[in-house]
Structure 1
Amino acid sequence: MEITKNKLALFGAGKIGRSFIGQLFSVGGYEVVFIDIFKPVIDELNHRNNYNVVIKSGTDQILNIKNVRGVSLTDGEKVIYEVATAGIVAISVGLGGLKDLFPLLAKGLLERYKLDQNYALDIIIAENMRDADNYFHSELTKLLPENYPLEKLVGFVETSIGKMVPIMQKKDIEADFLQIFAEPYNTLIVSKKAFRNPIPKVEGLSPKENIKAWVDCKLFIHNLGHATAAYLGYLHNPGFCYLYEALDIPEIYDQVRATMLQSADILIKKYPDEFTPESLIGHIDDLLSRFRNKALGDTIFRVGCDLMRKLGSEDRLAGAINLALTFNLPYDKILYSLICGCHFRAKDEYGNMHKNDVKFARIYDSGIDKVLITVCGFNESQNKQLFLKATIFDRSLKNRGDI
């Protein structure tokens, strides 16, 4: 057993894993070993050793991703081996799947330590979460011996994931089980200071000194604007399917842009050395152009669903409002988007709401204050003005008669 420098062990063979992380490293000359719980994908990867990423923008561009294979997450010994011998590891499983990975990561690190007590392992955390580095550090500390040199041997590399990947329709999955659709954007922002080894020479990696600023930018500009477009679009016409349909309505486009600009003011206040009004205005206008990519076929359902998470206290809307409260800045447009999200009841192509949206709807039935407290995490006694504004917005939406 020996460490292979140009091998990526990638937890997660889903949308971001295949379309983005695996694609970047495969094109960059790495063998990519996908580790996933979904056996049909693992079996197919091992059968083919390649798959296609279809770039959707006008004329489709097909990238054939080679030198790939799969390992089942349930095969603990193989997973530990792949971690121990990888040149680099990446994680893209979604927040709900992280807890199952830490014991395997810890055992893999210990096996690696037996091989080489000085060869560090960088872990690229390709998850949409704030303070991901601290979370990973804390969880692995619980599982590793006290004398394991974690600071020296493990780099917890936070990222900002900006690539948009739509839900695949049934007909497209049936045509090719492994193919994945994605937009042309192909930049992976990573924490420059977190790497313990030299940063991989992979085209598309964009190292940043202050990764916290860029994680917040993704959450409070990109994710916030995305969700706002979905919620306003659904309220305007519940029959809309695609995000571009909503943004083709000038009033919706202008309101989404204004909401993103309000959040940009908050980011500039928090990170004055990282962002300028000009840079964020350009970023917002570029995002809105990407959101309107008709070829991508991104749906209002995908962008807006999972309200329990997306309206959560640290997420795109409530999180931005909390920052605004910290700096005593306006947040009315963001709050209006959040309240619009409370009325979001979009369904997928099979006519089903997201399971967490069903749960959310039951909470909303108890009143908007219940949502603000239990889902968004706001304190009513400390934020009386916020609760008052939210009640007014909620009542105005109910009185429109179209929801």
Structure 2
Amino acid sequence: MRFFMKALHFGSGNIGRGLVVPILQKSDYEVYLADVDTNLIQLINKFNKYRINIIGNKNRYFQDIFNVKCIDVNSHYFSDYLFCVDLVTISVGVNNLYTVAIKIVNNIIIRFKKNHKKVLNIIVCENIVLGGTKFKKIVLKMLPLHIHQYCHNYIGFIDSCVDRIIPLTNHNNDYNHPSCLDVSVEPFYEWVIDQKQYKGCYKHIVGIVKTKNLSFFLDRKFFILNTGHAILAYFGLLHGYETTYQAINDMNVKNIVQQSMKESMNVLNSKYNQIIDKNDIYISSVFDRFNNKNITDYLLRIGRNPINKLKKQDRLIKPIIQAIQFNLSYKYLLYGVASALMYKNIHDNEAIKLQNLIKEYGISLVLYKVSEIDVHHYLNNEIVYLYNKIKKNI
């Protein structure tokens, strides 16, 4: 009988099904998905399989995934599964990490009471910087103090950098056919973990890169891909486009996005004191991904949660602040902030809240409240000026 390591992944969405499950299965992990969506749980357990459609600009192929199980995290037997696994991975959305932390804390307490010495590593795969470190802080706040040392000895909280564009899939709505679970992805993917945080003996996982310098990978993705993606979405929407492919083929939009990404790369060059992207190879590769005509990725989706994206430490403001620190140009990065302030989406609570805040307080005060940019700071004035200038030309 073939030996399987066991892994449990919180979240049965696109990242879970489109990236985590296929990578872990390739390295002989038996993977359990965990979710709260009753319909999705029933469908996964009904078919135990789905297909990943890997769609490039010039070709497409597929990968069939078998032996998939999904567990209801609110079931009475969930803790038994969690107790037995060797690895936990998480992609549930940043706002749901607290709920997952409750489950993890309860399980750590059980492990402590049973004097369980088996190491458990937890890889956080959210689209945030240092997700594992932040998740650990949430867990430790809930965990009784006398169990902290046990947690430190046997539970690893691992920061990671996950990169794969997985747009919303137009599913087959025939719930009697496994294709209703299919996922469409781009060919490119990258999953990098901080090896310094791993507890115990590391079992090699095909498709995961381990590094002692995760900050470089995080910064490169954050400052270039995430920043460029957001600016493409917000500025593209202002030009009336719906998808990334439409927007990136508008020369005006393309130029703003390209120049803003170069400004971000200049920040990274200064931060790491080296030329990171010789001949703009990395930026060009990101553009090729945005320009995939066979993947329909909607700008409204990419632009979701604008308040979070406008925070001081997030993808739109942070590159500008660091550009100022290094005395570098940020002229084009400003377009991302100004455009984000105009983002409207009746299906996004943050978008609605943002526009209500702007109506009540005005742009300058919203920048102070959301982005922590003082109303008297010249950066605040520059953004307000560009916002008004763009708005006049819409």
Q: Scaled by the length of structure 2, what TM-score is found?
A: 0.91
Note the aligned Cα RMSD (angstroms): 2.2
- Select 1:209's aligned residue among 187, 197, 212: 212
The reply to whether residue 360 of structure 1 matches residue 354 of structure 2 is yes
Name the CA shift for 1:107/1:164 in 2 (closer, same or farther; >3 Å).
same
- Conserved 8 A contact 1:5-1:87: no
Give the stretch that moved more between structures: 53-62 or 66-75: 53-62
Contact 1:317 1:334 in 2 (8 A): yes
Q: How does 1:206-355 map to 2 (within 5 A)?
A: 206-236=209-239, 238=240, 240-272=241-273, 276-278=275-277, 281-345=280-344, 352-355=346-349
Q: CA deviation at 1:217?
A: 2.1
Q: Any gaps of 5 or more consecutive residues in structure 1? A: none
Quote the Cα distance in structure 1 between the aligned partners of 2:79 and 2:126. Answer: 21
| Aligned partners of 2:193 and 2:209 also within 8 Å | yes
**How much does 1:15 deviate?**
1.2
Quick one: distance in 2 between partners of 1:25 and 1:305? 29
What is the CA deviation profile of residues 273-306 of structure 1, one whole-angstrom value per residue up to 9, with x for unaligned ones? xx63335922111011001111111111112232
Q: Distance in 2 between matches of 1:280 and 1:80?
A: 51
2:180 corresponding residue in structure 1: 177
Residue 384 of structure 2 is aligned to residue 391 of structure 1: yes
1:193 CA drift (Å): 1.4
Counterparts of 2:5 and 2:369 in 1: how far apart (Å)? Answer: 46
| Corresponding residue number in structure 2 for 1:65 | 65
Q: Note if contact 2:242-2:300 (Cα within 8 Å) is conserved in structure 1.
A: yes
User: What's 2:166 paired with?
Assistant: 165
Where does residue 31 of structure 2 map in the other structure?
32
What letter corresponds to residue 136 of structure 2 in structure 1?
H
Hey, what's the Cα distance between the residues in 1 that align with 2:343 and 2:173? Answer: 27
Correspondence for 2:374 among 373, 379, 397 = 379
Deviation at residue 167 of structure 1 after TM alignment: 1.4
Structure 2 CA distance for aligned equivalents of residues 165 and 197 of structure 1: 32
TM-score for the superposition, normalised by structure 1: 0.89
Are the counterparts in 2 of residues 310 and 316 from structure 1 also a CA contact under 8 Å? yes
Identity %: 24
Could you tell me whether the CA contact under 8 Å between 1:5 and 1:86 is conserved in 2? no
* Alpha-carbon distance in 1 for matches of 2:282, 2:36: 36
- Separation (CA, whole Å) in 1 of partners of 2:160 and 2:150: 23
CA apart distance, 1:116: 6.2
5+ residue gaps, structure 2: none
Aligned residue pair count: 386
The within-5 A match list for 1:110-189 is 110-113=109-112, 117-142=116-141, 143-147=143-147, 148-169=149-170, 176-189=179-192
- Contact residue 79 and residue 104 of structure 1 kept, 8 A: no
Q: AA paired with 1:377? A: E
Change (3 A) 1:122 1:356: same
26-35 vs 169-178, which moves further:
169-178
